[in-house]
Structure 1
């Protein structure tokens, strides 16, 4: 069956609209055409428009990249630690002192409460922390953070029950020469232990852990 003239006109109009939605660039004297199909705005805006979480969940192990080690060595002993957290973005804001107020509780990320799990007993600032899973949150100050382990698991990060706090540690912070756009947590190996390094904006905090 042959298309009618009206159908042909409609198809041509639709094709023109689709092409107009894409920004095209062609270099002079070149056959290469660059098509930009991304909407305007920064990465966070594009994620929001796509219905994706602007603060995606992440996970870090110690030993570093433990799942890959486990895949290569199936009989490998369990890891020592794991942290599960979300990664909010700076987005042009001043984080500490403004978005995160000094002296207020902070969930160490976004969305669900951050969880830190130890697969064996460890020592932090001279205190023995039994193996197990804990909510990890902080009270940032201008020159130090109070790090808190809490037993109220599987909760939203804005509803922290301080009556279930089990350990508190004060750690110094350092100012960095450049800001970290995305909140980051990672384990770094050191002699006789590891460090849980936390970085966002122009602040770096380190929680020392021995095992």
Structure 2
């Protein structure tokens, strides 16, 4: 009886090994393919993590990559500005004039209202903008954007109190010869200052400032 039980256990072990080998999908050497068993590992809606956002939050600095420069002790100029925003995707849609209606308010991103912080006084279109943190939102038109700085911080989406608008600027837009899939905001150095560059679909807009 004892020998029979050991024999059955051995057969069970062999069977499990063969089953695992059959389920394994071999990837060619050097590839980045993930080996899975489709019968048990194919994701469905219930398996997608609830906390994953399709429009992830991002942050840009001027000077560009300021935190990395600070860590490497390679800072050449002081911190001037930072923008915090979420990055929606084009996903095959026509964005401007369709998803975003001309003449209607847009949060310049997704989710929480976009915020820009100036760490020193700056000048935009001959107007002084004081050091501090602001909500930054937009009214897009076919040939220009109106950008608005607002003091109503920590708001969601377009729940913005327009009575707290503090600055308003109109800037031209340019059409690109290729679309940007993901909405992007980044700073770039220019003579006497910098520009906040905003790109999505086939549109690029620039907000210049001096300091």
**Structure 2 residues not aligned, in runs of 5+:** 39-43
| SS of equivalent residue, structure 1 residue 67 | helix
Structure 1 equivalent of residue 156 of structure 2: 156
Structure 2 equivalent of residue 49 of structure 1: 48
1:142 counterpart = 2:136: no
Structure 1 equivalent of residue 84 of structure 2: 84
Q: How do residues 54-73 of structure 1 correspond to structure 2 at under 5 angstroms?
A: 54-73=54-73
Determine which structure has more spread, i.e. the larger CA radius of gyration: 2
Structure 2 equivalent of residue 116 of structure 1: 116
The worse-fitting range, judged by mean Cα deviation, of 176-185 and 157-166 is: 157-166
- Using the TM superposition, give the Cα deviation of residue 50 of structure 1 relative to its aligned residue in structure 2, in angstroms: 4.3
Distance 1:140 1:193 in 2: 25
Using a 3 Å threshold, how does the CA distance of structure 1 residues 205 and 16 change in structure 2: closer, same or farther? same
Using a 3 Å threshold, how does the CA distance of structure 1 residues 86 and 34 change in structure 2: closer, same or farther? closer
Structure 1 stretches (4+) deviating beyond 2 angstroms?
A: 1-17, 32-37, 48-51, 72-78
| SS of equivalent residue, structure 2 residue 163 | helix
Q: How do residues 1-211 of structure 1 correspond to structure 2 at under 5 angstroms?
A: 11=16, 15=20, 19=23, 49-51=48-50, 52-73=52-73, 78-211=78-211
Contact 2:66/2:75 (8 A) holds in 1: no
The one-character-per-residue Cα deviations of 1:9-58 (angstroms, maximum 9, x if unpaired) are: 995797489x38x6x677xxx9x895565x9xxxxx99x93442111111
The worse-fitting range, judged by mean Cα deviation, of 158-167 and 117-126 is: 158-167
- Using the TM superposition, give the Cα deviation of residue 110 of structure 1 relative to its aligned residue in structure 2, in angstroms: 0.6
Using a 3 Å threshold, how does the CA distance of structure 1 residues 93 and 152 change in structure 2: closer, same or farther? same
